Amino acid sequence: MSMEIAPPRLPDSSAPDADMTLLAEAEEVSDAVFRGALFAGLVREHLFVEQCIFSGCRFPGAVLGHARFSDVLFRNCDFSNADLRGCSFQRVRFLDCKLTGAEFAEAAFGFVVFSRCRGEFAGFAAARFRRARFEECVLRSAVLSECRFEQTEFAACDLSAAELFGARLQGISLADSEIRGIRLRECASYELRGARISPAQALDLVRLLGVEFEE
């Protein structure tokens, strides 16, 4: 049974489209709905976004360092190669989003859900997660090194070749996720201590040590 995560408080989705220049000019943006907007190359620092909906919006190459997002829904949005380092996300949903190559290093996630997102090569190094869930996400070759996970779930995710150096997975189940080729300091190191995995996954991890089984 999935952990209950408080949903964002959102504006009326039938509200008219907001002026996309708000994100480029205002220090604070609230109670706005953006549909199909292109924010390519947008550069902002310490922007505050509250109670907003972004549907079908694109942020390729945007730089939004240390922005704060509270009560926000991103649906079918494209963050390819966007820089979101040091951002804060509270009660945020990422649904069917493209996060390929996006950089979330040192970001803070609280009450956040990533659902059916594609995040190949996404960077989450040293990010902090509290009451967060990844469900049916593709995170192949993603960087999750030094992450701190508190009440975080991975459900049916693809973590193939993901980098988990120094990440703490105590109490986290990876049993229904793909973890082939994950990168650890060593298989017996503290990264996986306390994590829950399936018997088949245990065999894959043993092979990471170069152990061979006799017939």
For residue 95, pLDDT beyond 70:
yes
Q: What global pTM score does this model have?
A: 0.87
For residue 174, pLDDT beyond 90:
no
For residue 166, pLDDT beyond 80:
yes
Please report the pLDDT score of residue 211 as a whole number. Answer: 38
* Residue 12 in tokens: 């009326």
Number of H helices, E strands in the chain: 2, 7
- Rounded average pLDDT over 26-46: 94
Please state, for a pLDDT cut of 70, what percent of the chain lies above it: 85
Pairing state of beta strands 68-75 and 108-115?
unpaired
d(CA 183, CA 114): 22
